[in-house]
Each structure stands twice: as C-alpha cells, then as structure tokens.
Structure 1
C-alpha cells in the first residue's frame, strides 16, 4: 500500500533530519523570533504536541484508522450512502511514486552534516509539496476518516482543519505528501476539535492547493458533516 511506503519514508526523513539538520529550519527557513525567543511555529507545535499528549494514548505515531472497510456490519458506523467512504491510498494517482525522490540514496551511509542529506530533504520536500492529485475523486461527495489538526478558530469553535491519514503527521513527524493532506472547511464551527483527535469527515472533495506552516494540502473538503471516529 502506498500510504505504508509514505510512513516508512517519513521515518527515513526523521533519520535524515537527525543527521545534523533541524527540520523546521530546513523546511520553513528561519522566521523571526518573538520576545520569548520562540518562533510562532515552535509555539504552535508546542501547543499541538501538548494537546496530543493530553489524549488517552489510544494511538501511537504512525497508526492509521481502518474506517468501515475492515469492520463487519454490526460494528460499522452507518452513514448517508450519498457520501461513500474514500481510502487515503486512492488520493494518490496510481502511477505516482512517493519514494521516487529517494531512489539511489543509501541513508545508512550518510554521515552527520552530509550535504547529500540536505539535498535529499530538499528534493523530497519539493516533490511531496507538488504531489499530484487523483482527478477521479475531485468534485465527488466522499467520507473519510483521519486525524485532525485545527488551523482556524472563531469564537464559536474550529472553522478549518487539516485532516491527515496517520497519527502524529505534521506534529511529531514531517508532513506527508500534499495529496495525503486534506484542507477541511467546516460548514459549522465545532466547539471542541483537539489536535490529533480522530474524526469522520464528509462533504465535497476538490483539488485545491493550501499551504501552512504545518504542511501543504492538495485537496479541499467542503465538509457538511463531522463526527468523532469510534473503533
């Protein structure tokens, strides 16, 4: 499965990052620091990590949600059939290889501060930020389970979020490819959406680029519904 390859590659990126490179400074540059000495990104990551740590420990970094595909009829959550379940793998075109940027690179041979590590990271990040969409699903009504990362809030609650396929993505690990991040705009603000909480989200999916400090999304889901995911 492609998403499995993505998770393996994220682990490889963490290894590369450990070879003398700070991921945040590499990926995002060096934004201005505030009076306390911490960048806005660092504050956001710290808050999100705190929210994640406050969960019940049900998931570990890299865990994915099975959706209804692996459940029998008694356990499967009932949804409006107008919003069929979408698998994360299907968001990646069949002919797209998420590992192509690392072909020919032997990570085990790299040393601290090896320029090849920096070059590989830059090549991978560009390839993943520009990851292509699967046009077969654009303009379709879909339903998909994932982990939420709130990005916009109003006085009434969360208006927008990023949805990612595995626990810890964008917070404890580098961002997945853009075609594995969905920018979700909610039809109504939700009062309590925590970082890395699991949800079902449904609505109309379109191809739309969205960039943030936490990752780039290739899809937009104009959501008409959201509810907590239950195993």
Structure 2
C-alpha cells in the first residue's frame, strides 16, 4: 500500500508545482491593461493588419520569468506533423491572429512541445503547463512576449 501511494505522489507533486495564472498576470504591476485590438494599418503588400500598440504593449512581467505556470488559452498552430502540433501560439481568445488583428506581445505566448498535441483537438481551449520565459520573438503572425516549453497540455474544462 505504501508503494502504491508513493507511485501517485510524483504525479500529484507535478500537478501542484504549476501555478495557475490568468492573462492579466502577464502584464507588469502598475502597467495599464492596453487595448487588445488597437488601431493600426493595412500592409497591402503582405495582406496583413499591422496593429499600433502603445509603449505598454511589449512590457512583460519579468517577475513571472522562469516560473512554472499553468495558463489557459487557444492554439494557433505553427508546426503540424502526422502526430499533431509541436509548436503553436497560445492566445487568450478564439480567432486571435487569424480572424482579428493580433493581441499585444505581452498577451501572446509561443509554445513548443515534445509530445505533439493531436490536431483533432486543435480548436479546443487548453491548459498549458510549463516554465514561462519572458523572451520576445517575432513570428510570421505577430510579435510575442513570452515562450513556454510545455511539460503538459490538457483540455480546458469549463467549471
């Protein structure tokens, strides 16, 4: 019986080691929550909307840098193989970056995973657990303020 209890402990410890956060937690304290869809202009050559954010849009919460977090969101796939999605942008609402202009960089997270996420579940809301890195990058869709190497991805269950 003691062996069985010990077997389940690491999984429980794993689940408890990630702090659940929300999207506003990615914005530094004291920085106003900017417009999610701000003004901008059309880049006719590339057929994309180029948003114009204020100076707060790229400010990231460095207090969260390196922390193990659990964040909900939606998947915008980047790399899809036969086994599923291995890199994606985690966004806070359905259609972000695809049907609407991208949110500001401090509201976008680029995620990589060793275990592909099944493509048939790609449009479901998910929880992503991993170590958050306040590291900017530019993708073909948008500028991103954070990155996570996912240790766990699971369907988000509404409660």
TM range (shorter): 0.7 to 0.9
CA distance in 1, matches of 2:120, 2:144: 19
1:91–1:180: 8 Å Cα contact kept in structure 2? Answer: yes
Larger radius of gyration: 1
Q: Which residue of 2 aligns with 1:25?
A: none
Q: Which residue of 2 aligns with 1:92?
A: 27
Deviation at 1:210, TM superposition (A): 2.3
Deviation at 1:167, TM superposition (A): 1.7
TM-score normalised by the chain length of structure 1? 0.52
Query: Which of 80, 93, 109 is 1:166 aligned to?
Result: 93
Q: Which residue of 2 aligns with 1:192?
A: 119
1:158–1:193: 8 Å Cα contact kept in structure 2? Answer: no
Query: Which of 18, 43, 52 is 1:83 aligned to?
Result: 18
Query: Which of 126, 149, 152 is 2:76 aligned to?
Result: 149
CA distance in 1, matches of 2:150, 2:78: 15
1:71-109 superposed Cα distances (whole Å, 9 cap, x missing partner): xxxxxxxx811001011101011233325xx8xxxx9xx
- C-alpha spacing 1:142/1:193, structure 2 compared with 1 (3 Å): farther
- C-alpha spacing 1:220/1:123, structure 2 compared with 1 (3 Å): closer
Alignment of 1:208-219 (within 5 A): 208-219=135-146
CA distance in 2, matches of 1:190, 1:123: 30
2:50–2:101: 8 Å Cα contact kept in structure 1? Answer: no
- C-alpha spacing 1:169/1:196, structure 2 compared with 1 (3 Å): farther
Q: Please state which structure has a larger fraction of its residues in helix.
A: 1
Structure 1: gaps spanning 5 or more residues: 1-78, 108-116
Deviation at 1:191, TM superposition (A): 2.7
Deviation at 1:122, TM superposition (A): 6.3
- What value does the CA root-mean-square deviation take over the aligned residues? 2.6
CA distance in 2, matches of 1:127, 1:215: 16
How many residue pairs align between the two structures?
135
TM-score normalised by the chain length of structure 2? 0.74
